[in-house]
A and B are shown apart, each in its own frame.
Chain A
Amino acid sequence: MSTHDSSLATALDRLVPEPDVTGNWDAIVRAAGRRSRKRRAVTLAVAVAALAVGVSPVGGAIADGVADFSAWLRGTPGTPASATEQEAFEQANSRSWAGFPPGTELRKLISTTVAGHEVDLFGFRSGDTLCLRIVGRGLNGSPASSCAPIAALENAAAPVVVVQSDHAMGLANRPSASGEPVAPVAQATFGILADGVEAVELVGGDGTHRATVTANAFLYVGERPAVGTRIRRVFAIGADGRRTEVPFASAPFDTWDWPAPSHDRPAGPSEVERKVAGGEIGWVLRREERGEAPHADAPYLRTAMLRNVEFARLVTPDPASNLRVLIAVGPGAPEAARAGQRFLCAFLVSGSGAGGGCNLLDDPFSIAPFWLGESIAEGGDQYATLSGLASDDVDRLELFLATGESRPIPLRDNAWAIQAARADRPYRVVAYDREGRIIGIQDMGAHDALAPRPAGDWRTLLTVHDSRGQVGEVRVAPSSDGGQCHEIRLPGGAGGSGCTPKHVPAGTPKLLLGVQPGRGSAWLNGRVAADVATIDVVFDDGHVETVTPTQGLVLLPLPPGTTSEASTVAKVVGRDASGRQIAVYRAGTVMSD
């Protein structure tokens, strides 16, 4: 630089000094999200109009301005299913108490043969979702349907949207003689393609595979894969040969093979602007008959938490979706009824089942002004459903994905539900009041990357026989953070697992227990805090059984006749070494499915 250059630089420096700014990235993401939502609202209006004239097949005209997936959004991929195939779908659908809307039309996308079995992939549209249905002739575990929200196609970061991975078909009816899992006949991974995708490459534990690609869909079926084989990465390959990695969350295997999260931290605002307390749902307290009444035969009404329910309504937060939320009030377990307690429960009801939880009706929003639950039908589902209740303080809810994108959450009559890609975890849900102030923030999956995992050899800690001679087992292993991981296996395959951190966070309940089925029997199992020396299991008839936890773990077969749906355990009392009561667990106060 010459002297004059230097002088010029100095003069220019004086004219515009380097600013001292930090910026506000969150504000940018929020502002961009708001504008996107405005555009999407127009698109949605068109979609709803299409629905008004009946359920459309896949590819009903719903969206403008979406080029990549236009074959799905505008056209009709594949060919109409045969009358037999359509009838089989309708019959199966009519038997489901939470099925897809009548009139849903199937399109056949891909057919292949695996291990002598014909496997077909169908597509259909249901509300604001596009669904794929895998049918393997003569293979159990099928038919099975998985769905992706249409919004996923509108906002896709890659030209492939994986809908399901490693769906097992042709499972053995029972484990091997050694009790180890048995490999299925086939495992299917499938999804939706944009125009221009020439191939889909899947990288699994057993090598790299090319999927069958046609009708803007892809299907890969692994034949007799080794136990635990999973697809780990997915790539789209364009006409020019360029490979693009597709956002993807591989299916977990067994207890500990969970995929590492793609993102370390959630996005979105992080500070509550107004604190609220004592929230309630007025219409529920007044017993107003909003929404619709649940079907009397719905199996979820037979679960322990919903026994003797006094008030129940089904709310559909988004009219364009088949996701519904059951809001119920009841006493839960008999012991709670005797104590005069009432619980407020919320169950997500979808085509694949129902699950939820309860809280005390007196103060249901003591932790936050809304509940946050996450549901998937099976491990390979690429889209989870987030759902819950919101108190009357909440005017609107917003979902922030880890990618930075945000979406408004359908909220009606205090119930909410939305689907989100598991590859976009961790999620953040933000609640706003009527003035637009943030009154609640909750994350889901924010600690996945930090969660302790097994980091050593497993050993059997407890082996317990029930009255029929069946064996339940607890195994333990050191965890990556210096704590202990445990795995509970019950007859018939039920059980549970988890890791107790070396430093247990303050506020963690002292009794983390549950009742689970075990092939004709039921088992009380779980873990307790380090200072719980004994537990008293109190049954409805007043009988008490005292158990000493082993390294904080409990496994107790319950008397014959006890089931997980009709537990006779009234409560469990935790006592310290001096015999002093330090915790109580009441059946029906924990999450259940």
Chain B
Amino acid sequence: MLRADPLPELELLYRREISRYVRVARAIVGEEQAALDAVQEAFTRAVEKRRSFRRRGPLEAWVWRIVVHEARKRAAAGSRRAPAPDEGFAAGNGRPDADAEVRAAVAALPERQRLAVFLRYYADLDYAAIASTLGIEPGTVAATLNAAHRKLESTLKEPAA
């Protein structure tokens, strides 16, 4: 019940870390504008709901949960709209898509593994922060990431067809 307004901290997080939020959101939703929209919406919700933040954990993890939730929601809505084949990661203006296999391998990961990879590589979160964001035990994060690494590395080892 006794808590200070976290609005200044939210503003600081937003201004300092927006690139990381957008990058993770883009990894989830697949398109930069949608990612930006997801982050804006997530922070709007965070500002709106900040009184409910009980400081039982870091504010950053609370915000990450909202961002990931918002991005997943948009990704799910996008998938219901029957996305084009291979939609997910931008291939870039007509260049040969050399990372198709990696993209496919990432897309094939179970969602928890995929999100853990995104948070680890694109947000540079430590295991504790990833655990808090995904609502899992820190020990589970290591196992989750290991499993994801094995699958992705096997893709990287195999020459592209």
Complex CA gap A15/B3 in Å reads 41
- CA A68 – CA B121 in complex, angstroms? 41
Asked if A244 is at the interface (CB within 8 A of a chain B CB), the reply is yes
Instruction: Using A16-B23, A21-B18 as known contacts, say yes or no to A28 and B44 having CB atoms under 8 A apart.
Output: yes
Which of A18, A244, A403 touches B2 (beta carbons < 8 Å)? A244
Measured in the bound complex, the distance between the Cα atoms of B99 and A29 in whole Å is: 39
Contact with B along A389-423 (1 / 0, CB 8 A): 00000000000000111000000000000000000
Name the interface residues of A1-58: CB closer than 8 Å to any CB of B: 4-5, 7-9, 11-16, 18-25, 27-29, 31-32, 35-36
Which chain A residues numbered 142 to 162 have a C-beta less than 8 Å away from chain B?
Answer: 157-159
Contact B7 A8 (CB under 8 A): no
Contact status B22-A19, CB under 8 Å: yes
> Known contacts being A23-B14, A25-B11, A404-B47, is A12 close to B102, with CB within 8 Å?
yes
Residue of A nearest to B45 (CB): A32
B103 at the interface (CB under 8 A from A): yes
- Contacts of A29 on B, CB cut-off 8 Å? 47
Q: Which of B11, B99, B152 contacts A14 (CB 8 A)?
A: B99
Decide if the interface of chain A is mainly helix, strand, loop or mixed: mixed
Chain A residues within an 8 Å CB radius of B15: 23, 25
Check if A28 sits within 8 Å of B26, measured CB to CB: no
Residue count of chain A within 8 Å CB distance of chain B: 44
Q: Is the CB of A16 within 8 A of B157?
A: no
* A448 close to B (CB within 8 Å): no
- Residue of B11, B35, B45, B121 with most partner-chain A CB within 10 A: B121
**Distance between Cα atoms of A29 and B2 in the complex (Å):** 23
CB contact under 8 A between A32 and B47, given known A8-B156, A244-B4:
yes
A237: chain B residues at CB < 8 Å are: 2
Find out whether the CB atom of A27 lies under 8 angstroms from the CB atom of B2: no
Question: A158 and B4: CB pair below 8 A?
Answer: yes
With a cutoff of 8 Å between Cβ atoms, the chain A residues found around residue B11 in the complex are 25, 404
Residues on A with beta carbons closer than 8 Å to the beta carbon of B48: 32, 35-36
Docked Cα-Cα span, A23 to B37, in Å, equals 10
Min CB–CB distance A22 → chain B (angstroms):
7
B61 contacts A by Cβ under 8 Å: no
Interface code B75-109, partner A: CB below 8 Å = 1, 0 otherwise? 00000000000000100000000110011001000
B153 at the interface (CB under 8 A from A): yes
Q: Report the minimum CB–CB distance from B104 to chain A (whole Å).
A: 11
Q: Does B125 contact A (CB under 8 A)?
A: no
A319 interface contact, C-beta 8 A: no
Given contacts A23-B14, A32-B44, A36-B48, contact A158 B2 (CB under 8 A): yes
Residues of B contacting A9 with CB < 8 Å?
Answer: 121
Interface mask (A226-256 → B, CB under 8 Å = 1, otherwise 0): 0000000000111000111100000000000
| Docked pose: A195 CA to B1 CA in angstroms | 9
Q: Is B39 an interface residue (CB 8 A)?
A: yes
Q: Are B102 and A4 in contact (CB under 8 A)?
A: no
A130, CB-defined interface residue at 8 Å: no
Instruction: Kindly state the separation between the CA atoms of A158 and B1 in the bound complex, as whole angstroms.
Output: 8
User: CB of A110 within 8 A of chain B?
Assistant: no
> Is A194 part of the contact surface with B, judged by Cβ < 8 Å?
yes
CA distance A566 to B81 in the complex (A): 76
B158 beta carbon closer than 8 Å to chain A: no
B19 in the interface (beta carbon within 8 A): yes
A36 closest partner in B (C-beta): B48
The reply to whether B152 and A8 contact each other, CB–CB distance below 8 Å, is yes
B27 close to chain A: CB less than 8 A: yes
A196 to B43, CA, bound (A): 29
A15 in complex: contacting residue of B8, B40, B103, CB < 8 Å: B103
Which B residues are in CB contact (< 8 Å) with A7?
153, 156
Q: Interface centre among B5, B27, B117, by most A CB within 10 Å?
A: B5
Contacts of B36 in A (CB 8 A): 21
B62 within 8 Å of A (CB atoms):
no
User: Contact check: which of B2, B8, B45, B99 meets A11 at CB < 8 Å?
Assistant: B99
Whether A16 pairs with B122 at a CB distance below 8 angstroms is: yes
Contact status B18-A22, CB under 8 Å:
yes
Determine the distance from Cα of A20 to Cα of B26 in the docked complex, in whole angstroms: 12
**Complexed CA–CA distance, A168 and B156 (Å):** 77
Q: Which B17-49 residues have a C-beta within 8 angstroms of A? A: 18-19, 22-23, 26-27, 32, 35-36, 39-40, 43-45, 47-48
Minimum CB–CB distance for A227 against chain B, Å: 33
Give the residues in chain B near A15, CB-CB below 8 Å.
27, 89, 99, 102-103, 106
Chain A contacts for B73, CB-based, 8 A: none
B103 cross-chain contacts in A, Cβ below 8 A: 15
**When the two chains form their complex, are residues A21 and B19 in contact, meaning their CB atoms are under 8 A apart?**
yes
Answer whether residue B112 sits at the interface, using C-beta atoms and an 8 A cutoff: no
**Bound-complex Cα distance A28 to B23 (A):** 19
Q: Which residues from chain B contact A405 at a C-beta distance below 8 Å?
A: 7
What residues of B have a CB within 8 angstroms of the CB of A157 in the complex? 3-5
CB of B153 within 8 A of CB of A28, answer no
Q: A4-B156, A22-B18, A23-B15 are in contact. Are A16 and B89 (CB under 8 A)?
A: yes
* Residues in B neighbouring A24, C-beta threshold 8 A: 40
CB contacts (< 8 Å) of B102 on chain A: these are 11-12, 14-15
Bound CA span A8–B156, Å: 7
B122 in complex: contacting residue of A12, A31, A35, CB < 8 Å: A12
Q: Decide: A19 and B1 in contact? CB cutoff 8 A.
A: no
Does the CB pair A19–B26 fall under 8 Å?
Answer: yes
For A18, what are the chain B residues with a Cβ–Cβ distance below 8 Å?
19, 23
Report the bound CA distance from A99 to B36 in whole Å.
52
Neighbouring B residues of A23 by C-beta, 8 Å: 14-15, 18, 39-40
- Closest-by-CB residue of B relative to A198 is B2
Note all chain A residues with C-beta closer than 8 A to B3.
157-158, 244
| Residues 136-161 of chain B, each 1 if its beta carbon lies under 8 Å from chain A, else 0 | 00000000000001001100110000
Q: Are A28 and B2 in contact (CB under 8 A)?
A: no
Residues in A with CB closer than 8 Å to B40 are: 23-24, 27-28, 31
- The one of B7, B122, B157 in contact with A404, judged by C-beta atoms closer than 8 angstroms, is B7
Given contacts A5-B149, A18-B19, A23-B39, contact A12 B121 (CB under 8 A): yes
Instruction: Report how far A156 CA is from B134 CA in the complex, Å.
Output: 30
In the bound complex, CA of A544 to CA of B23 (Å): 75
Q: Could you name 21 residue pairs across A and B whose Cβ atoms are closer than 8 Å?
A: A5-B149, A8-B121, A8-B156, A11-B152, A11-B156, A12-B122, A19-B19, A19-B32, A20-B19, A21-B19, A21-B22, A23-B15, A25-B43, A31-B40, A32-B47, A36-B48, A68-B1, A159-B1, A236-B2, A244-B3, A244-B4
The 5 lowest CB-CB distance pairs between A and B, nearest first, are A157-B5, A32-B47, A244-B2, A238-B2, A32-B48
Q: A12-B102, A14-B98 are in contact. List 5 more A-B contacts (CB 8 A).
A: A16-B89, A24-B40, A197-B2, A236-B2, A403-B5
Binding site for B on A (CB under 8 A): 4-5, 7-9, 11-16, 18-25, 27-29, 31-32, 35-36, 68, 157-159, 194-197, 236-238, 242-245, 403-405
